[in-house]
């Protein structure tokens, strides 16, 4: 088993096709894929970072689906979350205006 000093759960929310999966893949796998299939439900990835003080941080990335019909499922992953990354397309104002559906009750 791999020991780490800190564990941080991050959830990515936003409309469909705004780049949540691309952002996650870039951070976790250091790769970029221009065309990605839509996430169904939630995808989970982890990355362990070594900090300057030699402590280890386990980052759990919960990449959520952007479709509204998955919202009740997605909200179950908000428990014990350490932070959220709200992703939207700067070229499409609608994706910014609709951010609320993934984070509001």
- Asked if residue 1 belongs to a domain, the reply is no
- Find the domain containing 98 and state its range: 6-103
Strands 83-86 and 6-13, sheet pairing: parallel
Q: What is the mean pLDDT of residues 68-97?
A: 79
Residue 94 lies in a domain: yes
CATH code at position 27: 3.40.50.300
Count up the domains in the chain and report the number: 1
* pTM for the structure as a whole: 0.74
pLDDT by residue (tens digit) across 26-69? 988 888 777 777 776 677 899 998 999 999 999 999 887 766 65
70 and 57 Cβ atoms separated by less than 8 Å: no
Instruction: Give 103's pLDDT tier (boundaries 50, 70, 90).
Output: low
33 in a domain, yes or no?
A: yes
Please determine, for residue 101, whether its predicted confidence score (pLDDT) is greater than 60: no
């Amino acid at each position: 088993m791999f020991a780490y000093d800190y564990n941080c759960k991050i959830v990515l929310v936003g409309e469909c096709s705004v780049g949540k999966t691309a952002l996650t893949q870039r951070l976790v796998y250091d790769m970029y894929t221009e065309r990605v299939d839509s996430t169904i439900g939630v995808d989970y990835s982890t990355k362990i970072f070594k900090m300057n003080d030699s402590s280890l941080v386990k980052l759990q990335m919960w990449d959520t689906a952007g479709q509204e019909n998955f919202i009740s499922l997605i909200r179950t992953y908000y428990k014990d979350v350490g932070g959220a990354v709200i992703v939207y397309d700067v070229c499409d104002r609608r994706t910014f205006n609709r951010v609320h559906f993934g984070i509001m009750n």
